[in-house]
Chain A
């Protein structure tokens, strides 16, 4: 079974631009979560989607948004990029939503560099 895939793997943008990152969960998984990892702040939760609905949201500004499609694939968008948005963006998938679905599977991440 293929793992979580994220595209693109690397991205370079300039300040003020916007970016869209894509995540394909493991086949059969219906929940997708997004995380940002930086050397200074570590791993921080962005948001979680299940059945095309956002279920949880972390403490990030409105420039960060996401969505989930009917096939469970998810995208996240960052508008008006700032230098501080440079990070590794990780996507994780899980079978479902709730404490009964315990294991999350992480993708390799998208490395975003903002110049």
Chain B
């Protein structure tokens, strides 16, 4: 399975943008890039996904490199509620998600 690499942790100030990076150098042409986050004491929550083009939704934006070997999840204005572990996942078939270690995002007031 193609793997993803993310920093263990990141810190942000409230109300500022946050850029969460993910490397996936072994991505295949049919792999979708998914992001989920897990708030404390909750199950994971879908954030966004994309294949080749940049994507925006109400929660975040996903910027995908032209060669697709990396991507960046962008939270435009971090709030304290955004403090969570963010997982970058490659998915190619079915609904199986292979979670890595994720990035623990800490948001300072």
Contact = CB atoms under 8 A, between A and B. Distances in A.
Interface of A: 4, 31, 33, 35, 42-45, 48, 50, 55-56, 58, 90, 92, 94, 97-99, 101-109
Contacts of A4: 43
Interface in B42-81: 42-46, 49
Interface in B76-108: 87, 91-102
A48 B94 contact: yes
Contacts of B102: 42
Contacts of B91: 99
Given A99-B92, A109-B43, A104 B49 contact: no
B99 A44 contact: yes
A105 B42 CA distance: 12
A99 to B, nearest CB: 6
A99 B99 contact: no
Nearest to A96: B95
A42 B99 contact: yes
Nearest to B47: A103
Contacts of B99: 35, 42-45
Main secondary structure of the interface of B (DSSP, over half): loop
Contacts of B98: 45
A33 B46 contact: no
Main secondary structure of the interface of A (DSSP, over half): strand
Q: Which of B32, B46, B98 has the most CB of A within 10 A?
A: B46
B80 to A, nearest CB: 21
Given A42-B99, A42-B100, A103 B46 contact: yes
Contacts of B42: 106, 108
B44 A106 contact: yes
Contacts of B43: 4, 90, 92, 106-109
22 contacts: A31-B95, A33-B97, A35-B99, A42-B102, A45-B99, A48-B96, A50-B94, A56-B94, A56-B96, A58-B96, A90-B43, A90-B44, A92-B43, A97-B95, A99-B91, A99-B93, A102-B34, A103-B46, A104-B97, A105-B46, A106-B43, A109-B43
